[in-house]
A and B are shown apart, each in its own frame.
Chain A
Amino acid sequence: AQRVTQPEKLLSVFKGAPVELKCNYSYSGSPELFWYVQYSRQRLQLLLRHISRESIKGFTADLNKGETSFHLKKPFAQEEDSAMYYCALSGETSGSRLTFGEGTQLTVNP
């Protein structure tokens, strides 16, 4: 069975501080990992996918197969980064199912 674990329900940092949102997964096979973000009163949207290895809004995430992790990082948090962040997993054995973690609510304080 596939599973995504986000250990922190809530995370609070100050503006300008580094931020790391943790994501660990369990999957037998080659996983496809994503980070989705939901800003207040806005729709869920894709932030990053591991396959593209890009930086979006200053966020990066590296897939570490040895540690089965896909942590989301940003060196200098901004107030507009405050949102709910979901790590999600898919893979060849799961068809088109996206399995989401429980989410981390990030608050960036001024």
Chain B
Amino acid sequence: DQQVKQNSPSLSVQEGRISILNCDYTNSMFDYFLWYKKYPAEGPTFLISISSIKDKNEDGRFTVFLNKSAKHLSLHIVPSQPGDSAVYFCAASPNRDDKIIFGKGTRLHILP
């Protein structure tokens, strides 16, 4: 049973445009959500997070939006840059002392 779902295996976006990566979850007990970015041959790196008490968190070119009623979150990258080409994992956790559950990832290609 997949509790964190990333339904788009891949996404291609033109350089300079907005990239929107989507994530759905099924567990209403999730309290904290994170996005990780992974380059080939490297481990995932933490990108941005959001607590369930917020609906938006912004950090530079990256913004995460949370819609609790729809159990949906999205990561916006604007403007998209070539170095953003990577696999992006959505992750969630019910509380600070519990495990983090990852989605399968979305591969983002930034086109020149």
Determine if chain A interacts with chain B. no
Which B residues contact A (CB, under 8 angstroms)? none
